Amino acid sequence: MWKNPPSLNGSPARALGDYTLDTNDISVSLGEDISADTVIRVHRKGRRYIFTDIDERGLGGVNRYECRAMLAVTDGQQITIIPSAADDGWGQPIEQPPVTISAFVQEETRTVANQYGEEAVVQLRIVAEGLAPVSYRDKVRYVNELGIVVEREPVRIVIRRRVDGAPLVTEVYV
């Protein structure tokens, strides 16, 4: 059963567990006969959605799974991860090549908790499928359609996992 997406002003339509629905998210309910830990993505009306969170629900036992799914719109958007220099053991930096990956990039200013639990203001929410090769010491570069370049270290990295622990998406806030 597909729930309504958030309202047009971007406010969450409904909170699920400890998260809310963002602009490109929808809520999906799966019956207990569907093994939610094996579902990675769904297709509906020609669009591909990636599960970002799965929540077990039911009274006295699990009778359904409520999931947050994000519209997968990674076509055409890319980020470049510039790894921080590793130490060779003798104090000399070892430069590593940059990695370019497809991702959904949402440009908006918001407040998030950083890796230390402190409030921080970020400009980008980046969502990549699976486990993205990014750390807090790396630099993330994004160039939008107008040629505006944003390059900085991540403020928060969140890895969303399936019930079995497999990574679904990596959210990076810069």
Rama region for 168: left / alpha / beta (φ>0; ψ in -120 to 50; rest)? alpha
The pLDDT of residue 44 is 73
The pLDDT of residue 150 is 95
The pLDDT of residue 4 is 43
The pLDDT of residue 59 is 67
Q: Give burial (CB, 10 Å; 0-12/13-18/19+) of 88.
A: exposed
The pLDDT of residue 73 is 61
Q: Please list the pLDDT of the chain residue by residue as tens digits (174 residues).
A: 344 444 444 444 333 344 455 556 777 777 777 776 677 677 777 777 877 777 777 766 777 777 777 776 666 789 999 998 877 778 777 888 999 999 989 899 999 999 999 999 999 999 888 899 999 999 999 999 999 999 999 999 999 887 667 787 899 999
**Any idea which residue has 């997406």 for tokens?**
5
d(CA 154, CA 152): 7
The pLDDT of residue 11 is 43
d(CA 74, CA 77): 6
